[in-house]
Structure formats: C-alpha cells, structure tokens
Structure 1
Amino acid sequence: MTALSVPRRCSTQVGELALIDEGTGTPVVFWPSLFSDHRLYVEVVRALGPGWRTLRFDGPGFGRSDPPRGDVQADVYAHAVLEVLDALGLEQVIVAGCSWGGQIAAHVAAGAPARVLGALIMNAPLGPSLGGHLFEVVGTRWLGATTFWGNGVVRSMFSPASRRAHPERARAFASAFRSFDPVAAATTVRTVLTRSPGLGDVLPRLTVPTTILMGAEDRLYPVARMRPLAARAPTARLEVLPSCGHLAPLEAPEAVVAALRQLAAAARPDRPDTAANRADGPSH
C-alpha cells in the first residue's frame, strides 16, 4: 500500500464512488475488503504489468467514496458498480474482490453475467453473519482512524508468515487507517459483520468463469468452514493459498495475478494475447 493516488468519482445510487482507473487492456474491477481502500491492490497491479485496465474502488466507509447510507448490502453496491461501468462505457470486465469485496464481485457476476468475463472471489465470508462483533464495531467507531487499531487488524488478518515475509506491507496497511473516517467505517463494519445475508443464494447462480481463493491460515473465515459453502458454486475453481491469511492481494499477489490471467484466458480462449486486447477508453 502506497500513497493515495488521485481518484476519479462517479455518481451512483449509493452516492459518489471513488476509484483509481489506470492502464489499457483487459479491464478488471477491484473492490477492497473491510479496513482497506484501493491501496489493497497495489501489489497486484504492479505484478500484473501492462495489458490491463485496472479500476480500483474505495468502498464507502473507507477511502474517498461518499460515506455509506446506512446498512447497504453487497447487492446494492454491485448495482452501483454496474452504474460506474455504464458511465465509463465498459461493456465487459473481470470482477475481483477480497472479503467484503468478494461478496460484491459475486453479486455482480451472478446478477449481470453478460457484463462479466470472469469473477475472482478472495477470502470472502460466504455464509451469513452470525451476530456478535460488537468489539470490532465499537473499536472501529472510537479507534478506527489510528495506527494502533490498524495494527490490531493486521494481527487478525495477516498470517504470521506474511507478517514475517513482508513487514513493510503490514506497516503500510496499518498506517492507512489514519486516512479513514471512523464513523463511516463503523457503519460499514456493522453491516458486513453483523447484517450480511451471505452468498448462499448467489453462489449457485454463478455461470461465468469463477475462481475462489482461500487462505490456508485465514483465521476469520477458515477453509474448513468455507469449503462446503464454496461447493454451492458448482462451476467455480477453488484454490487454497498456503501461508496466506485473510488478505490475498497483499499476502499472495502473485497467486492473485495468476488467477486473473487464467480467468482472462478462459473468457477468450481463442485469443492468446488476451491480456493485451482492446483498451476500453482512456487511462487515468
């Protein structure tokens, strides 16, 4: 995670969404996890290299998008993503998201399959919220704009192996908390952790090429608990990433890039230069 780039803003039914729109080529939409913004994908974008147009969103509650308007669920944000694609003139994209973002990517893919070349769902809570999480909600409300709170989130999300291998990524992730609005962040945290219906009725409707990535050391959503739920998406490919916790884009960016390339190839099997195909508009 690096310094904030200058975002563009698009009006949607949930307010203005901020996103970083860069590059030319195969378009891929990235929605972040809780406690992160577009910077979650900086390592992925760097590893992707040329031939891709990347649209990295700030989710309401984190980053520069408008604050959340109450308990907005993932399907509503999915519609907002489609509004942005319409505004940018993008007919088809790959959708990718981590955790909360994985829920939104799944909704986009299931709800508008004609617009989606492939879906990458990473570290996502596939089942419904089970209540609790008062500590996370209250802590975010009162401490959410501090590095202290960010360090606590790092310990819960990153695997120990990832923290040892890339301490600079963990530090950057924690320091980004200083730029968040804790009141707005707490609203989103409450919605996702305590009021989400999960993806039980969404996964069976996925018909586009789909990959589900799980972290072998994800303590928030362990593989043993998520694997039976992932089986509800009968055509999805499941991959478990060794030594990865809850943030695959920062802990295993190379695996994320490999999954994106596989999805692009599956979407256009007759095009060996899939990643370098047409640009959909100017880069920003």
Structure 2
Amino acid sequence: MFARVSVDPVPGDRLPVILVHGLGMSSRYMVPLARHLAPHVRVYALDLPGFGLSDKPRQALTVRELADALAAWMQAVGIERAALVGNSLGCEVLVELALAHPQLVDRLVFQGPTPDPEARSLVRQVVGFVAIAPFERWSLAWVALADYARGGIWRYVLTLRSMIGNRIGEKLPHVPQPTLVVWGTRDYIVPYSFVTMLAGLLPRGRLVVLPGAAHGINYSHPGEFTAVLLPFLLAAPQMAAARTGPEPGDGRRLTICRQLS
C-alpha cells in the first residue's frame, strides 16, 4: 500500500491523522488538505488497495475488506491509534474500521458520506457527480481521470456496488468514537436530509455545514476545511467527546460556517 507522509515537525503528543480517499480516487486527491494539516499534525494519506499507486488485488475488495487492509497497514507502520478523515467511500471504510478495529480509532471525520439510501442506483450516483462538477476545482477532473485509469473501470463499478449495498445507517449507532460530519451545501450527491440523519444516528456525532462547498471539500476548500478540523483534531479525547456529543433531547449538533469564497 502506497502512502504520502508529511515531514513537518509537530508536537509528539498529537494524534496522527490518516486521510482516506473516495471512490476511484487516490491520495493525490487528499494532498491539498494534507498540506494544510501538515504544520499541525503528522499526516498520512494512503491509496487503498486497488487504487492509486497501491497494489491491485485481482478481485475488487469489499468495503469491509478495505477497512481490514487499512487496519493491517496501520499496524504494519506502527500507528497504534489515530484520527481518521474520510471522503465519500472513505467514510464507509472508516465506519467498518471503527466497528471491527476500535482500538485503532480515536476519532473520526466523515466528509460527504455516501450513499444516500434514496439514490442507491448507479445511474443516480453518476447524475450526482455530473451535477457537482461546476462547483469543483477544474483541476480535479484531471486528477480523477488519471486515478480512474489506474484503478480501472471494472474495479470502480464493483467497488461502487459494494458501497451502494453497504447500509452505514444501520451501523452508525454502534460507532462509539467522537465523529464530525462535514457537508457542503452544493454537494448534490449527498442530500442534507441524509447527513443530518447520519449525524443524528451517531452517539457522539456533530454536523458542520460549509456553505458553497461541493463534494470534494478536501480538494476545493482545504483551508476552510482545516479551520473546521483543527479544533476537533487537536482537542483532548474527553474534549472531542464533549464537543461532538448530542445536546439533551437532540440527535445532533449543527454548526454552519461562514460563506466560502
């Protein structure tokens, strides 16, 4: 498994942060966010098996198998516990990791979690990607095309099928770690009603809305995303839990950030 690792010196008592890319993409997609986080925390951005520069298993891995591979990689490189940030498919992988390997997970960030149960068909997912295209950075198209070519269309389709069939809503009530859900108002792949439901299902979840952002916030708005992440990532474990715990009588906490430029 290939990974990009930051080299900036950071305080030794800070949790490492692992960035997990979305469907068909690679760690290149996470580089803008990694650059903003690197002065503050040790950052790892990896390519899941079958994608980017990592080895390509003959069979496409399921979401659970991708999570097991991530756990094995963490253990192999000596990461005992980390904060993990996932985009799209990466969120589903992190849910599986938190449930199957909880000792490795201190806290989680889900950015643009998918798929919406009302839009599980392949066609609906493709339509959503087309709808958000005008609101993403144009250079992302070249990154995506290169990454899709490396992984191959067949692996993309098989992984998408596993992703669509993986109902994370049924699993979130069992995720014990503090979790931050981040959503952009122009993310037409993931409806607001879906992310509010997910945040409400998480025992220690909180929802943050970034006006004007689409699905690839980690690539298009890394500075604004980092401003949201750092207070959560740098908080002591008990503080992260307190900041993300639901208010009495409410299934979620909502923060709306300023309009993005």
TM-score range, shorter chain: 0.7 to 0.9
| Residue aligning to 1:201 | 170
**1:53 corresponds to 2:80:** no
Give yes or no for contact 2:19–2:86 (8 Å, CA) kept in 1. Answer: yes
Q: Deviations over 1:134-183 (max 9, x none)?
A: 6979xxxxxxxxxxxxxx9864444x3x34xx434444444554444233
RCO higher in structure (CA 8 A, sep ≥6): 1
2: CA distance between counterparts of 1:268 and 1:224?
29
- Scaled by the length of structure 1, the TM-score of the pair is 0.71
| Residue aligning to 1:21 | 5
- Quote the offset at 1:33 in angstroms: 0.7
Matched ranges for 1:133-148 at <5 A: 133=122
Q: 1:257 aligns with which of 226, 231, 234?
A: 226
Is the partner of 2:169 in helix, strand or coil? Answer: coil
Q: 1:112 aligns with which of 80, 86, 101?
A: 101
Give yes or no for contact 1:120–1:210 (8 Å, CA) kept in 2. Answer: yes
- Quote the offset at 1:212 in angstroms: 0.4
2: CA distance between counterparts of 1:100 and 1:47?
22
| Residue aligning to 1:86 | 75
What CA RMSD, in Å, does the superposition of the two structures yield over aligned residues?
2.9
**1:31 corresponds to 2:20:** yes
| Residue aligning to 2:161 | 190
Question: Tell me, which stretches of 5 or more residues in structure 2 are unaligned?
Answer: 240-261
Give yes or no for contact 2:49–2:56 (8 Å, CA) kept in 1. Answer: yes
Matched ranges for 1:93-104 at <5 A: 93-104=82-93
| Residue aligning to 1:277 | none
- Quote the offset at 1:129 in angstroms: 8.0
Number of aligned pairs? 234
Q: 1:188 to 1:45 in 2, by over 3 A?
A: same
2: CA distance between counterparts of 1:260 and 1:136?
27
- Scaled by the length of structure 2, the TM-score of the pair is 0.76
Give yes or no for contact 1:75–1:107 (8 Å, CA) kept in 2. Answer: yes
Give yes or no for contact 1:126–1:200 (8 Å, CA) kept in 2. Answer: no
| Residue aligning to 1:145 | none
Matched ranges for 1:219-230 at <5 A: 219-230=188-199
Q: Which residue identity lines up with residue 184 of structure 1 in the other structure?
A: R
Q: Deviations over 1:27-74 (max 9, x none)?
A: 111111113110111110111232422221213343122335546332
Q: Which residue identity lines up with residue 83 of structure 1 in the other structure?
A: A
Give yes or no for contact 2:181–2:195 (8 Å, CA) kept in 1. Answer: no
Matched ranges for 1:138-177 at <5 A: 155-158=130-133, 160=134, 162-163=135-136, 166-174=137-145, 176-177=147-148
Give yes or no for contact 1:95–1:109 (8 Å, CA) kept in 2. Answer: no
User: After the TM superposition, which parts of structure 1 deviate over 6 Å for at least 4 consecutive aligned residues?
Assistant: none
